[in-house]
Structure formats: C-alpha cells, structure tokens
Amino acid sequence: MNDETPQNLAMLVDRGEPRSQSRRRAFDRGFLVTCLAITAIAVLALGVLLGSILIEGLPGLRWSFFTEYASRDASKAGIRAPLWGSIWVASICAIVALPIGIATAVWLEEFAPKNRITAFIRLNISNLAGVPSIVYGILGLTLFVRMFGLFGPIQAPELEIGGRLYAIYYDTMQEPIRVPAEERGVAPVLKTGDVGFVQEIEEGADGELIFTDRWTPVTLTIVPEDEDAPEGYGIIEAWQAEEPADFETERPWYYIQFPLGQSVLAGGLTLMLVVLPIVIISSQEALRAVPGSLRTGSLAMGATKWQTTRKVTLPAAVPMIMTGSILAMSRAIGEAAPILVLGVALFITDTPSSLMDSFTVLPMQIYNWTSRWQEDFRALAATGIIVLLMVLLAFNAVAVLIRQKLQRPLS
C-alpha cells in the first residue's frame, strides 16, 4: 500500500502533465531562445533608431547649427530659436508644476483624510495621467492662449501689465518714430517740440543693417502737408501726424497681457498641465518610500504633522522627488502635440526675451523639418533630434547622479 503511493502520485502528475521530462526541458530551452530573440527586438530597435539618426544627422552638427535661426535655405538653417524656446518653456513649466505637484503629493500622502473625496482625487490624478497630451493642448488653447475670449482678441489685448505703450509714426525719412501713448487706439496729439524715439541702427559685419533694441530721443517737428517737405529725423508731415501707423508695446521680461496669446508663458503653463500628474505620482511614490518609523519618531518627539513633513519626510524623499521631477521635465521638453495645438508660429527668427514673446520648441521644429519633402530638411531634422536627445541625455545623467549621490538607505 505504502509502496504504491509514489506510483500513484507519479500517475497523477503524469495525467496532468502528459509530456515527458525531457520534452519539457526542451520546451524550456526553446522558450529561453525565443525570449532572447524577442528581447533582442527592443535592443535592435533602439540600435537602428539611434544609428540611422546619427548617420543622417551627424554631418549637419556644426556650431552654426546652434547659432542660426530658421531659414528657407536648409544649409543656413539652425535651431537657435527652438532651443531657447524649449529652455524658456521648460523653465516656466518647472517653476509652476513642481511646487503644485509636490504640494499635492504631500497633501495626499501626509495630510489627506481617508474618505471618498480623497479617493476621488487619487482616481482623478490617475485619469489625468492617461489623458492624451493633445487634449491638454486644447485646454491650454482655451484657458491660456484665448482665456475664453474674456479679454478680447489676442492681437489687441484689453489688459496689459508692465509694458509701455507707444504709437508709431513715420517721418519724412520714412523712419519709424515712437511716441509714448496713453491708450491703444487713441492717438497722442503731436505738436512741434514733443519728444519721440528713433531706433538705433548698426552696421553688421557683412554690411547688413541690424536694428538694435536701443532708441534715441529726437525732438519732433510737425510741418504742414507740402510736396517738398524737408527730409530729416523727427520731421513729420501733418497728415501723417493725425493717425499713428501702429501701436507697439515695449516688453520688459515681466510684461504680461491678457489673454496670454501664443506666448512662452502660455506654452509653459500648457506643458505644466501635461507633466503635473507625472510630478504628483512620482512624488507620491517618493514619499511612500520614506519609512513610517521616521514619521512616528518625529511625531513622538512632539513635532506637528507639518514640522514632521518639512523637517523629516520631505528631506528624506528629496532625492527621489528630484529624480522624478527631472524625468517629468524631460517629458515636457519632448512634447510637441500640446504646443502644436496652441498655434505657435513655425517661422521664428528671434529668441524670447519676455514672458509674452512668441516661441517655438525643439520637437515642433523637428516635426516641421521632418514633414517637408526635401532631403536637406530631413537631414536637418535628424541633426535636431541629436540635439534634443543630447539635452534629454544630460537631464537623465543628472537624475542618475542625484540618485547615486544623495540616496542613502533609509531603514
């Protein structure tokens, strides 16, 4: 009886497992080979991708590629504007998204009561992480670029803060003259002896004219309409003095208008929407990784919840929060879809110098170059991709460094 039990067991196992031991071993071996082959696909894909981009793009990687603006001539085109645009937009995005995201994570992990509202907020954040980025673009377009149309059209904003408004006239030299104005659409009454400003012009290295940001004051002379009005700086014919040719706002970097329009601020805020759920989720994970004993220790010493968070929990979680935040920012730098929806101009020949300046970003420029048919532009796109990947690589290197330098075992 006892002798037969193993046999019974073997039969039982056999019934469930008709294949012989050696066949199962063969299966195992075969599966390992399949695994290796399939896993190699990922490595192969990455290799081919990087290889083809390097082959296409490396020849175009010259210093001038970084210093030149967009051009219809592929050999002269560069990525100066999108590079600076990306830097501005990513900085704004980081300044806004990181505090809000980390604060949300702190509240959820350290303060939130366990109730339905908290559960709903958690679910809501998971959902936000799954929303396609192009949908955030639509939100950014309505919320930031147009501001629901509450402040009038983008071109003639109803609310401007921090700018200086000028009316533009042309003198008999056909040079634009700026005259301070009180209100958009209301012409200042010009009289002889008033002061206007002419733009300083410099001669570039190749003899081309460069319009500087400096303006020199000039005393205006208003002369009656006359066929042979004297030519000279600041001499304006009466009919030209009646209505300014245009209005212009001088923009210090803190100048803000409502609606925000297709400005770097609107772009940065839109990207903030995209990365906010990522920042929240990674910060939550970082806080969760802090051992509970540290918190209870601090609370037992009489510290309040906020003191515990500020002095104990947050410092312990900072390396992981920083790593997560850097990865979130590299996501922001690579996003093209939400920026595209905002309707930013593709042909930018200036770097942003104020929050309200127009901009483009690296992925948008790469998209634009790739979607053209000419070979030259596609090579440019590959070079642009190399620059973009180098930026992301630098970000990731910093993240890895932080992880290694700052992370100490906590328990």
- Give the interface size with other proteins as a residue count (CB under 8 A): 87
Contacts of 400 (CB under 8 A, 6+ apart): none
Phi, psi of 258 (to 5 degrees): -120, 130
Nearer to other proteins among residue 216 and residue 296 (C-beta): 296
Of 64 and 126, CB closest to other proteins: 126
Cβ atoms 129, 277 nearer than 8 A: yes
| Residues from 92 through 121 that contact other proteins (CB under 8 A) | 99-101, 103-104, 106-108, 111-112, 120-121
Q: Residue 210: CB partners within 8 Å, gap ≥ 6?
A: 201, 202, 203, 204
By C-beta, is 338 or 352 nearer to other proteins?
A: 338
Task: State yes or no: residue 300 binds other proteins (CB under 8 A).
Answer: no
Q: Find the binder of other proteins among 5, 7, 18, 42 (CB under 8 A).
A: 42
Report the interhelical angle of 314-334 vs 264-288 (nearest 10°).
Answer: 140
Closer residue to other proteins, CB minimum distance, 233 or 377: 377
* For other proteins, the closer CB: 22 or 174: 22
Q: Given the complex with other proteins, which of 36 and 189 has the nearer CB atom?
A: 36
Query: Binding residue for other proteins (CB under 8 A) from 14, 25, 232, 292?
Result: 25
How far is C-alpha 240 from the chain's CA centre?
Answer: 43
Please tell me whether residue 39 binds other proteins under the rule CB under 8 A.
yes
Q: How far is the CB of 264 from other proteins (least distance, A)?
A: 18
Residue 54, interface with other proteins (CB under 8 A)?
no
237, containing H or E segment: strand 235-237
Residue 311 is a binding residue for other proteins (CB under 8 A): no
Other C-beta atoms lying within 10 Å of the C-beta of residue 255: 18
The answer to the question of residue 56 lying near other proteins (CB under 8 A) is yes
Under the binding rule (CB under 8 A), the answer on residue 164 touching other proteins is no
Integer Cα distance of 130 and 125 in angstroms = 9
Show Cβ contacts of residue 326 under 8 Å, excluding neighbours closer than 6 positions. Answer: 395, 396, 398, 399, 402
Q: How far is the CB of 147 from other proteins (least distance, A)?
A: 12
Q: How far, in Å, CA of 371 to CA of 270, rounded?
A: 24
Q: Is 327 in the site for other proteins (CB under 8 A)?
A: yes
52 sits near other proteins (criterion: CB under 8 A):
yes
Q: Show contacts with other proteins in window 126-145 (CB under 8 A).
A: 126-139, 141-143
What contacts 29, CB < 8 A, 6 or more positions away?
none
Q: Pick from 31, 66, 253, 347: which binds other proteins (CB under 8 A)?
A: 31
